[in-house]
Amino acid sequence: MANQDNFLEGEELDHKLRVYSDITQLIASPENPTPLVRVNRINPNRDFQIYLKLERYNPFGSIKDRIVYRMLEALEIGDRTVIEPSSGNTGIALACVANALGIPIEIVVPEKIPEEKKVMLRFLGAKVMEADDALCPVFPSEGARGLVNAVIKSPATKGSYISPNQYENKLNVEAHYRTTGPEIWQQTQGKVNYFFAGFGTCGTISGVGRYLKEKNPGVKIIGVEPASQNHKLPGMKRITGLAEEYIPTILDSSVIDDIVTVTDEDAYGTAMELARKDGIPVGPTTGAMLHVALRYAESNKGLAVVISPDDAFKYASFYEDFLKTKAGEIKDKEL
Amino acid sequence: MKSEYDLSGFICPLSLVKAVAVIDNLGDGEMVKLILGDSDSLKSVVGELKVRGLKPAFAKDGENRFVLTITK
């Protein structure tokens, strides 16, 4: 990126002043960590303290900001177009970084993601293709991934596109090993006992898990997955029962101590309860992970960190749908 | 609208996405030929046509060229 003459020239980046020469400098790092915030009223167990790692405070609004810059920076793009499958967050981060770097971009999204995310991608100028989850026999239930694979490999389009491929890109894991993991370790002063994350591309759980286990092998790494393949938790993947070839190659299973399933109702209900009891508006996947952490709180002691990938606002239509369901109505009245 | 689309350079499911775009724009009574380049693409497109209640005429034009003629 071209450096323009300005008053920052020659100055070292100072996160206390919060003055930046471009937006990508705000992406979280151990020097500029995303906040770790304790949840209080939703968790009655004082002996099992739960902290949310609020990734919405990244500049483009989600945990994916961390991996995107690294992956794009390392790609030899040339005059090719960047294409990536995404349930929204990676796409939004990619579009923002690509715009900052002047790179054309196309995002393939599953049809079922919230309309808000599709609108944001179009607003950012990305070319958006929608793919039915059942579109591709090669990647069953992951049509977007299959479509990008076809664009990269088709004789007619080969050589015109390049994909960061977050499912197989080691820089995805590396970003979390170098930033998210060290941040959590520093912020908890090495006292973290439990780490909760979901399975998606599996970069977060593999990178943070590896870092924390190296610091303290006793830290428990808990993976959270939807209770069924047909779920409404964008970005999350059910690993159990998935054929080996469809599991992201970057997943490091050796760092995972337990895998717990969660239903959509529990995930959405917990997100709503968190918003109403602690005033923290999060996306439904945070609700899923927090629900599992709260179950752990019933019979364990220690300090837990739960990844909160993004915020509630880009899921407004999904929350509206939830509030209309029987489970939503019951939860609404109960709270 | 063209009467023939050579989609043999696209593998599945990109071929299916391209085929669906053509079929969606087909008017009642209109005919179109789709040329596909692999058996996965053929299977997917034929499956999609079946869902839409369309019966294509099939011909093989060489080792890996499958021609579907569709009338809406």
Q: pLDDT for B6-22, tens place per residue?
A: 999 999 999 999 999 99
Higher pLDDT, A173 or A245: A173
Characterise A256 by phi-psi region: left (phi > 0), alpha (psi -120 to 50), beta (else): beta
Please state the pTM of the whole predicted model. Answer: 0.89
Give the tokens for residue A46: 């004082």
Spatial distance between the Cα atoms of A286 and A272, rounded to a whole number of angstroms: 11
pLDDT of A18-74, one tens digit each?
999 999 999 999 999 999 999 999 999 999 999 999 999 999 999 999 999 999 999
Tell me the C-alpha to C-alpha distance, in Å, between residue A227 and each of A205, A245, A259, A262.
18, 20, 11, 5
Q: What is the DSSP letter of A29?
A: B
Under the banding of pLDDT at 50, 70 and 90, the label for residue A138 is low
- Interface probe for B, chosen from A83, A135, A141 (most Cβ of B below 10 Å), is A135
Q: Which of A16, A53, A64, A127 is catalytic?
A: A64
Average pLDDT over residues A289-309: 98
Q: Is residue A1's pLDDT more than 60?
A: no
Radius of gyration of chain B (CA): 11
ipTM score: 0.89
Q: Do B11 and A136 touch (CB under 8 A)?
A: no
Q: Do B17 and A155 touch (CB under 8 A)?
A: no
Radius of gyration of chain A (CA): 20
Give the tokens for residue A290: 């927090």
| Pairing outcome for strands A220-226 and A258-262 | parallel
Q: A161: which chain B residues are within 8 Å (Cβ-Cβ)?
A: none
Report the residue count for chain B: 72
Q: Are A305 and A192 in contact (CB under 8 A)?
A: yes
Q: Do B9 and A155 touch (CB under 8 A)?
A: yes
Backbone CA torsion sign across A156, A162, A166, A170: positive
Q: Do B13 and A135 touch (CB under 8 A)?
A: yes
- Interface probe for A, chosen from B5, B8, B10, B11 (most Cβ of A below 10 Å), is B11
Q: What is the pLDDT of residue B61?
A: 86
Report the percentage of chain A scoring pLDDT > 70. Answer: 96
pLDDT of A144-179, one tens digit each?
988 999 999 999 999 999 999 999 999 999 999 999
Spatial distance between the Cα atoms of A316 and A310, rounded to a whole number of angstroms: 13
Give the tokens for residue B39: 């058996």
Residues of chain B with confidence (pLDDT) below 70: 1
Q: What is the pLDDT of residue A80?
A: 93
Backbone CA torsion sign across A105, A234, A212, A279: positive
